[in-house]
Structure formats: C-alpha cells, structure tokens
C-alpha cells in the first residue's frame, strides 16, 4: 500500500512538473513579441490598421483624387470653350458671292436717305457699295468720282448678303474701273448739293426751316425765309462739288405738308436764278402743289455751266394766314463735266 501511495505521489509530482514545464515553455514564445513591441495591446491592433491605411490612402486618395479631380475640370472647361466656336463660325457662315466685273452705275441718294449711295447694275438691280476694309482708302475716292460723273463702271469684289445697306446687300469692292466717261444723260444732281440761305425761320413744334430742307426729298418739310414780310430778295443757294451743265430746275413752291398748310403760307411765284458763270434767268411758277419743272436746256447750246444755283425770291402768292414764304423741294437736273 505504501508503495502504491508513493507511486501515486510520484506520478502526481511528475505530472505537476510536466505541466509546469509546458506552461513555462508555452509562455516563452509569446513573451518575446510582447517584449519587442512596447505596448502590445494597442500597437498590434494599430499597426495592421494604420499600415494598410497609409499605404492605401496615398495611393488611392492622395494621388488619384488630385490627378483625377483637376483632370476632368480642366478637360471639361477647354472642351466646353471650343463649343462656342459659334462666334468664329458666324463670320464664316455669312456666305459671300463673287462679283466678277458687274457693269452699272453708282447713284447718290438724298442727304437724309438711310444710305448714301448704291450700285445700279445694268439689269436695274440695286446693291450697296463700299471698298473693303483693306483698300477703302483707294476705292472710296474712285466710287465718289464715278458717283459724281455717272460713268458706267465694272466692279469686282464680293457680294455680302444680309447686311444693313441698300436692298440689304453690299458689294465689297476689290477693283472698280470706268467703262465710259461722264454719262451723256441728264441726272438729278440735287443730292450732291450743299445748301445755304440768306435767312430762315427758327424751328418750332412743326420742325425746322433751314435751307437743307429743300434737298431732303420730303415735300412736307420746307425752307422758310426768316425776315419780316414775304421775304422778297431772300435767297437760297445750292452749291455743287464741281461744274455742272444745267438742263432743268424744279421747285415745289410752298410748304407742301398738306393743302391747308400750303395755302396758309406764301408760295413762290417768281424767282431769279443766278449762276456762277454770271448768267441770270427769271422764271415764273404756278400756284399749285407738287414739283414744277422748267427746262433750261438750250437746243443749239451752249447750256448754262455753273458750280451753284441761287434762287432769289422775286414775287409770291400771299398766304391766307402767314406772311412766310416757303419752298418745300428743289431739283436740279443736268450733267457733270
């Protein structure tokens, strides 16, 4: 029995020793790692979490976001900017047509007209006309000369449609050449005239009464002398850029706004025409509304050559209400030299 108890005690001791050794041995491999990392509990969980984060963060969030974000922004802006090449397309979109030696004349318009002149092609079609931006200094004087002489011309350039000019179109002229000398036909030269008068009535609620009212192409505006009484001896002069050969003169002899106003004011009955060559001509007009044209052309010639026409009031038809003498329009037809 003693042996059995001893054996059991020995066995118990042996088991106890073995467990102690295995516990010590099991602890040994664990102890170095907690000893290497100063604070195991926190470091071990932080290292794996912070390590993947910093490596992922710089790769995925630092680099790509910064490069990706500006890329679409800068790409979008430039791609949207070229989208409005609408302005650059607009000038190109205006179609132009070649003008290849068209033949015609250049006609001056009255001073108050919307445009100053137009090219009348030989088929009667009308076009605005102007030099191009590049050659305007050269072309414009040529256009002015041909406009004055009424010469037949050939025109080269481009036709620009949809533009604020005569008939909504314009010839941008590259080259213009005369086909003929000054036209042989008498023309209305009044649009070329500058006007001046001995006096005029101050403006009122109805408008102005200055000398240029006789060349504005409106019968309801009139030059009105500004002196007391009917203005006998008052005058108005039309001066031309150069010598003209006078073929006829037309007068609308009153304030031709309407029937009542026409007869309420004085109408011109007799005038003396004075010219720069010293000649004088007396004319008498009827007491009627509208343009009255009197020929001055001389059958065998020579015709009157002058740079101005002065119209001197000699007699009037008295107005029913006002003692003011009016002249709505003047037309002087002739030829340039």
Q: Does 252 bind Ca ion (CB under 5 A)?
A: no
Specify the stretch interacting with Ca ion by CB under 5 A; choose among 41-49, 105-113, 209-217, 312-320.
209-217
**Binding footprint of Ca ion, residue count (CB under 5 A):** 6
**CA-based nearest residue to 166, from 180, 181, 192, 147:** 147
Give the ranges where 51-135 is alpha helix by DSSP (H).
52-56, 63-68, 70-80, 86-93
Nearest-approach distance from CB 220 to Ca ion, in angstroms: 7
Chain position whose Cβ is nearest to Ca ion: 221
Q: Which is nearer to Ca ion, 139 or 213 (CB)?
A: 213
Residues 76-95 interacting with Ca ion (rule: CB under 5 A): none
Q: Does 221 bind Ca ion (CB under 5 A)?
A: yes
Q: Does 195 bind Ca ion (CB under 5 A)?
A: no
Alpha carbon distances (Å) from 93 to 89, 157, 171: 6, 18, 17
Q: Does 110 bind Ca ion (CB under 5 A)?
A: no
Phi, psi for residue 29 in degrees, rounded to 5? -65, -25
Nearest-approach distance from CB 329 to Ca ion, in angstroms: 5
Strand partners, 331: 250
Specify the stretch interacting with Ca ion by CB under 5 A; choose among 79-87, 101-109, 218-226, 227-235.
218-226
- What is the C-alpha to C-alpha distance for residues 168 and 153, in angstroms, rounded to an integer? 22
Radius of gyration, CA atoms only, the chain: 51
Peptide bond into 77 cis (omega under 30): no
SS3 216: coil
- One DSSP character per residue, 146-159 reads HHHHT--EEEEEEE
Q: Does 245 bind Ca ion (CB under 5 A)?
A: no
- Provide the Cα torsion 49, 52, 57, 58; round to 10°: 140
Specify the stretch interacting with Ca ion by CB under 5 A; choose among 15-23, 39-47, 85-93, 211-219.
211-219
b/e 210-245 (16+ beta carbons within 10 angstroms → b) = bbbbbbbbbbbbbbbbbeeebbeebbbbbebeeebb
Q: Which is nearer to Ca ion, 142 or 224 (CB)?
A: 224
By CB under 5 A, name the one of 165, 210, 216, 331 that touches Ca ion: 216
Specify the stretch interacting with Ca ion by CB under 5 A; choose among 137-145, 167-175, 217-225, 233-241.
217-225
Nearest-approach distance from CB 274 to Ca ion, in angstroms: 22
Nearest-approach distance from CB 266 to Ca ion, in angstroms: 16
Q: Does 218 bind Ca ion (CB under 5 A)?
A: yes
Nearest-approach distance from CB 291 to Ca ion, in angstroms: 11
Residues found near Ca ion in the complex (CB under 5 A): 213, 216, 218, 221, 328-329
């Amino acid at each position: 029995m003693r042996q059995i108890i001893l054996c059991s005690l020995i066995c118990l001791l042996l088991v106890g020793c073995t467990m102690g050794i295995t516990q010590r041995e099991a602890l040994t491999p664990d102890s170095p790692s907690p000893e290497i990392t100063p604070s195991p509990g926190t470091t071990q969980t932080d290292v794996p979490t912070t390590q993947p984060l910093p490596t992922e963060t710089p790769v995925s969030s630092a680099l790509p976001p910064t490069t990706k974000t500006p890329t679409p922004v800068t790409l979008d802006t430039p791609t949207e900017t070229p989208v409005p090449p609408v302005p650059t397309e607009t000038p190109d979109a205006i179609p132009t047509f070649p003008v290849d030696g068209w033949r015609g004349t250049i006609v001056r318009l009255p001073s108050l007209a919307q445009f100053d002149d137009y090219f009348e092609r030989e088929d009667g079609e009308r076009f605005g006309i102007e030099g191009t931006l590049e050659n305007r200094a050269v072309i414009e004087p040529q256009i002015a000369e041909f406009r004055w002489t009424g010469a037949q011309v050939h025109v080269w350039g481009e036709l620009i449609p949809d533009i604020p000019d005569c008939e909504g179109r314009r010839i941008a002229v590259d080259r213009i050449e005369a086909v003929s000398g000054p036209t042989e036909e008498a023309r209305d030269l009044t649009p070329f005239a500058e006007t001046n008068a001995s006096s005029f009535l101050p403006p009122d609620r109805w408008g102005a009464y200055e000398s240029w009212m006789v060349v504005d192409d409106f019968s309801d505006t009139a030059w009105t002398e500004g002196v007391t009484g009917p203005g006998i001896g008052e005058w108005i002069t039309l001066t031309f850029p150069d010598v003209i050969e006078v073929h006829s003169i037309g007068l609308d002899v009153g304030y031709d706004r309407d029937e009542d106003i026409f007869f309420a004011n004085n109408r011109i009955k007799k005038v003396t025409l004075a010219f720069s060559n010293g000649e004088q001509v007396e004319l008498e007009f009827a007491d009627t509304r509208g343009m009255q044209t009197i020929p001055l052309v001389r059958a065998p010639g020579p015709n009157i050559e002058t740079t101005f026409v002065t119209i001197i009031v000699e007699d009037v038809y008295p107005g029913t209400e006002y003692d003011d003498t009016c002249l709505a329009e003047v037309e002087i037809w002739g030829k340039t030299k």
